[in-house]
Structure 1
């Protein structure tokens, strides 16, 4: 289904809005393959809003992580500040010009998404910018990591929840939506250990790593050689087990969603969990490679999800 069809279904007719939503959709398709595939299982009218939320998160993340143009870190931090300033003005009624914020502000208004979720997210992005400016970004403990992950991931689940809809009071589903966002983020941390090291960051808790005899130096040595030490494998196995526990805690929230949204979230739930399985299948060798879920597996999960979605839409 084309962007045009989705926007028509969502009742988005203003030309500037359509351009912004289309830009967000392109960001989702380019950078979030698993997430984008799952989004295709939503009713067409809901997809633009999810694309807008993803586009905003991706845009902010790219300010921090894209170092290809060698912009100094103070410049990146200033760009995040400018993004927040325009978003605050946009939510207060001042028209936005940013190619992503135009759609985001419209989505926030349509679905009554609390602005605090956006501020928490941007605060986490600023933590990354500050950490990168000193070439050090580590978290001493799970508690420290969870403070960061609340802004970088839990609030993403809370942002999307009003778009998905619930069959229970929203506040009842919120803790589980937040937990699912955390599970997805922890999965990314495990998969991306090597790439994060290239950016000077370690997102795995230092105290948990130390319990297995792992420190930054050992991780960097593995990244340089492509060999994963047995101590690193043991530490990663521990993190994977913890992450699976978060998935289990979040899973009952899927049944709390509107029936037409469940297949989308179920697909994301399964496919992100499959990333952990892929990590286990390569014996935690994530320092020298980036594991991915095979395309055939993604399609095998999405296909039945589409069938369930069509049934739910017919019933609705």
Structure 2
């Protein structure tokens, strides 16, 4: 029963968006969603600004769906979720990986909860509370990400994207409505007048909606930036026999990336190589499962020696030697 309820929730979210869009178009323009879609398919190439409008529609629709499904899922598992424990095995760049405590030989899975890249072995195999939907085999998400405070950002951004989606639907529905009901566009009420009338029906004006959208953006941004940092649990497996200060370890190179910044003195958005690099490695010797640790280094942007070396290791599925520091971080062996 709970399995059906979990999947029904997903279906309701999808069809809720479809029904909501169709209900709005029917109320505002006496056209259903499929009539508007059919008109746009037929007239897409001859309509001004068709591609930007289509892009705006999909951006607001996909973004709004993602935000609201995240918020609804978080609320759902708060009431109908099972608490389980996973073990953290490190990050590959920004992607956090975990394993089941009862099945350490299973392939680590990626969590939707973002943990900052780890540069040490310190928190490897720490217990992480997860919450999953009852009756399903879904992995779930870290319990810390499902607090009320963490829902502020997705709800705020979901409302903002809902406003943008409203505008996109109005523009696209208006054009189909005018083409269907008027011989000349000049005979129809203007697009702005029609939107103002709709906004006033809920006691607002386009200007009010603009301020509401700006306020929601600020609330969402503050909510995102003020999200509490991830708190690691207790270590479930002792790694001291394999990982200790001075230990020599071999790590298989998985990924390496350059860190860029925007140079304000040049063209807007022009990326500038900072010389900073982050590489991700997999370690397994003496450990029950593969674990992942990142290595930070700097080099001259025009002399990417180590960067190229690590890329070569990745291509050849090869390993690199490290010395474990007193902080359980990675250090390259001294060159003799």
TM-score, length-normalised on structure 1? 0.29
Structure number with bigger Rg:
2
Greater fraction of residues in strand: 2
Greater fraction of residues in helix: 1
TM-score, length-normalised on structure 2? 0.28
